[in-house]
Amino acid sequence: MNYRIEAFEVLLNEDCILKRYYPLIPYKYGLIASLGEMGCHTKEECMQFSDEAFSQTGLPNQEMFCLFKRFLSLYDVKESKYKDIDKTLLTEREVDIYRKLYQLPGVKSIRAKLYYDAGYDSLEKIATASVHRIITDISDVISMQKLNLTVPLVKEVKTHIAVAKALTEYAV
């Protein structure tokens, strides 16, 4: 998955990132500016940079360069994640929707079905929804269908919204 570097603004936030990446947060605006000046406009272009190039971005040291490189691939989806979609009895349209929902971190068949049943059948709908609305809608689905499942955590939904924004609003 590729997106414009401006997506770092939504992805590098305590609300939706793992704690180990918190040290990058103060550098996000500087990174966006300096990477753009260096001709790097997408995540994929950034992944091609050497440590020497990263030293010109305002990151203070080698440890931060490495952390940033790991962050760049944090939300990449391995093709193997999609294998359980093929094991389900879905229509062709549903398979397409599930493949898109699977791009969100931690989403597999159960969470994808909850999103789908709650009316979130596209990344655009997730990207533009509020955390409260998504949690309420999923809670309603769980209740109406009498499922023995839990509602996603607030941070999980915030992460899904941020990644959905990166993949839609900042798509390349």
The mean pLDDT of 43-71, rounded to a whole number, is 91
**C-alpha distances in angstroms, 41 versus 38, 46, 56?**
9, 8, 15
Average pLDDT, the chain: 93
Checking if the pLDDT of 54 tops 90, the result is: no
Regarding whether 86 and 163 lie in a shared domain, the answer is yes
Note the pLDDT tens digit of each residue in 3-43. Answer: 999 999 999 999 999 999 999 999 999 999 999 999 999 99
Regarding whether 113 and 87 lie in a shared domain, the answer is yes
Regarding whether 163 and 145 lie in a shared domain, the answer is yes
The single-letter code of the amino acid at 45 is E
The whole-angstrom separation of Cα 149 and Cα 111 is: 10
- Look at residues 72, 88, 114 and tell me which one is the last residue of a structural domain: 72
Regarding whether 155 and 93 lie in a shared domain, the answer is yes
Confidence band (pLDDT; 50, 70, 90) for 117?
very high
Regarding whether 157 and 103 lie in a shared domain, the answer is yes
In contact, 65 and 27? CB cutoff 8 Å: no
Q: What's the pLDDT at 55?
A: 84
- Look at residues 51, 72, 93 and tell me which one is the last residue of a structural domain: 72
| pTM as predicted | 0.93
Note the pLDDT tens digit of each residue in 124-145. Answer: 999 999 999 999 999 999 999 9
- Look at residues 72, 96, 129 and tell me which one is the last residue of a structural domain: 72
Domain that holds residue 86: 79-168
- Secondary structure class of 25 (helix, strand, coil): helix
Regarding whether 26 and 45 lie in a shared domain, the answer is yes
Regarding whether 85 and 58 lie in a shared domain, the answer is no
Lowest mean pLDDT among 57-66, 119-128, 152-161: 57-66
How many domains does the structure of the chain reveal?
Answer: 2
Closest CA to 16 of 163, 167, 165: 163
Q: What's the pLDDT at 118?
A: 98
The packing angle between helices 109-117 and 131-144, to 10°, is 100
The whole-angstrom separation of Cα 79 and Cα 149 is: 26
Regarding whether 103 and 38 lie in a shared domain, the answer is no
On the 0-12 / 13-18 / 19+ scale of CB atoms within 10 A, 109 is middle
Q: What's the pLDDT at 150?
A: 94
Checking if the pLDDT of 52 tops 90, the result is: no
In contact, 3 and 168? CB cutoff 8 Å: no
Closest CA to 172 of 4, 8, 37: 4
